[in-house]
Amino acid sequence: IDHVVLTVKNIPISIEFYARVLGMRAIQFGDAYKNPRIALKFGQQKINLHEAGDEFEPKARTPTPGSADLCLITENDLAQAMAYMESCNVEIIEGPVERTGAVGKLQSFYIRDPDFNLIEISNQI
């Protein structure tokens, strides 16, 4: 997957969370003067951010903040990642639990972003 789009209530709040908690970096692309676009970059992927009510066309039929469920793979030790979330005052809502990913078994835990999207953070087993 090259990129996905998240519809959010507030782009600056989303940037702060994803940068501080998940280590992503915000980038700007598109026409910087007429219609600047913002994405969160990590590795060779990105998450484009659309602010609710001001989405880029074309868009999903019913873009809604809080409707996404994403799984992110980390190479960091899961226990360390969980401890880091707690140090960031991010509630772990479940985990660690075993799940099945695209290429095999995962050990995962779950958090929510500021829009209440479900974020699964996983190690491949």
Q: DSSP letters along 47-102, please?
A: EEEEETTBPPSS--SS--TT--EEEEE-SS-HHHHHHHHHHTTPPP-EEEEEEE-S
CB atoms within 10 A of CB 39: 21
Q: Determine whether 75 is an active site residue.
A: no
| CB of 109 closer than 8 Å to CB of 121 | yes
Q: Specify which residues 42 forms β-bridges with.
A: 45
Residue in 51, 55, 75, 120 annotated catalytic: 120
Catalytic annotation, residues: 120
